[in-house]
Amino acid sequence: MKGYEELYAYFETNLKQQAFDNEPSELYAPIQYTLALGGKRIRPVLTLMACELFGGQIEKALPQAIAIELFHNFTLIHDDIMDDAPLRRGKKTVFKKWNNNIAVLSGDTLFALAYQYVQKTEVNILPITLSVFNKTAIEVCEGQQFDLNFETENDLSVDQYTEMIRLKTAVLFGASLKIGALIGGANNEDAESLYNFGQNIGLGFQLKDDLLDTFGDEKIFGKKTGVDIILNKKTFLYLKALEIADDETRNKLVDFYNNDSKQEEKFREVKAIFSRLKIDQLALEKIDEYCKMGKESLAKINLNTEKKESLLAVAHRMIDREK
């Protein structure tokens, strides 16, 4: 079984060979720019890995791996418009570098291009592959809308938050694995188990993201911490804190999130509350829980443990990371 590094290199080389240099250049330049920004390419690597897990040649899963990465990048271009985000991976976002119209339209094109790669599947598994892809695309849109809604909603539970990140983030990990498994020859039951593995790991991945944003070590994390708190993002940390805090602390937190105060002070104070409530510990426990559920799903698949090791290594890379 090939490991992450080998598959990452294989995917990267092959993605670079897709030119996307058609006309009009105003449409394709932002697509080339976005794909060249890089990233960890975890989703397509998972697709290739799942294919190999069931004895398939990774070449057979390459078009679907590309489809998933294109789809993911389409969502980034459109999400950046909606979040009014100036930077992505340290570079200007498409709508800032070009404009809103070009970001909308190059995103749309990238979405359609993703389907051109979906199409390159053997006809016997095209219906199921397309169906997983469609369901996932719709769910990711729903997740993004819930995320937008949450900005102005004050009565949120941890469960609602979890459902939002499941849709917005976790299902795409599940789908990446399921599609790879189907191409590799898995039966539906095994493909479904792998989907559940991916979804749970995806939930853990997002909670880890929340945790690092507040508690990460900036030197290792490589990004500024405190962004979620400064932007009043209702993450797991915040919602869990509201759930377990006494009335006085809860009111203090709500105050911080509803009134403008000095960014540095706000971050320091809110983080101190989270620490006092041991929210970081609770988050780690929750992440462990997802990790465990993921592994249970993986255990259901009737393949020897050795074969599953590359997948477990990626899961740990997603969850144990400090950056």
Stretch that binds a second copy, among 137-145, 206-214, 271-279, 299-307 (CB under 8 A): 137-145
d(CA 27, CA 20): 10
Asked if 263 interacts with a second copy (CB under 8 A), we say no
Q: Are 1 and 52 in contact (CB under 8 A)?
A: yes
Q: Verify binding: residue 165, a second copy, rule CB under 8 A.
A: no
CA dist list (Å): 187 to 137, 301, 316: 23, 10, 26
149 near a second copy, rule: CB under 8 A:
yes
Q: How many residues bind a second copy (CB under 8 A)?
A: 41
> Where do we find the tokens 């590309």?
66
Q: Is 185 exposed, middle or buried (0-12, 13-18, 19+ CB in 10 A)?
A: middle
SS3 content of the chain, % helix, strand, coil (to 5): 75, 0, 25
Q: How far is CA 229 from CA 157, 186, 303, in A?
A: 17, 43, 43
3-state secondary structure of 259: coil
Binding of a second copy by 146 (CB under 8 A): yes
Give φ, ψ of 289 to 5 degrees: -60, -50
Shortest Cβ distance from residue 123 to a second copy (Å)?
6
Stretch that binds a second copy, among 110-118, 187-195, 240-248, 284-292 (CB under 8 A): 110-118
CB of 281 to a second copy, least distance (A): 32
Instruction: Please provide the size of the chain in residues.
Output: 323
Strand partners, 91: 88
Out of 42, 61, 70, 118, the only residue in the binding site for a second copy (CB under 8 A) is 118
Q: How far apart (Å, rounded) are the C-alpha atoms in residues 59 and 55?
A: 12
For a second copy, the binding residue among 47, 64, 144, 193 (CB under 8 A) is 144
**187 belongs to the binding site for a second copy (CB under 8 A):** no
Q: Does 113 bind a second copy (CB under 8 A)?
A: yes
Candidates 48-56, 138-146, 171-179, 271-279 — which segment interacts with a second copy by CB under 8 A?
A: 138-146
Q: Give residues 40-99 in contact with a second copy (rule: CB under 8 A).
A: 78, 81-82
**What is the residue whose two structure tokens read 């990371």?**
321
Measured in whole angstroms, the distance separating CA 317 from the mean position of its chain's CA atoms is 14
* Per-residue interface string for the shown chain with a second copy, residues 9-38, x marking contact by CB under 8 A: -------------xxx-xx-----------
109 vs 297, which CB is nearer to a second copy? Answer: 109
Give the footprint of a second copy on this chain (CB under 8 A). 22-24, 26-27, 78, 81-82, 100-102, 104-105, 107-109, 111-113, 115-116, 118-119, 123-124, 126-127, 130-131, 133-135, 137-138, 141-142, 144-146, 148-149
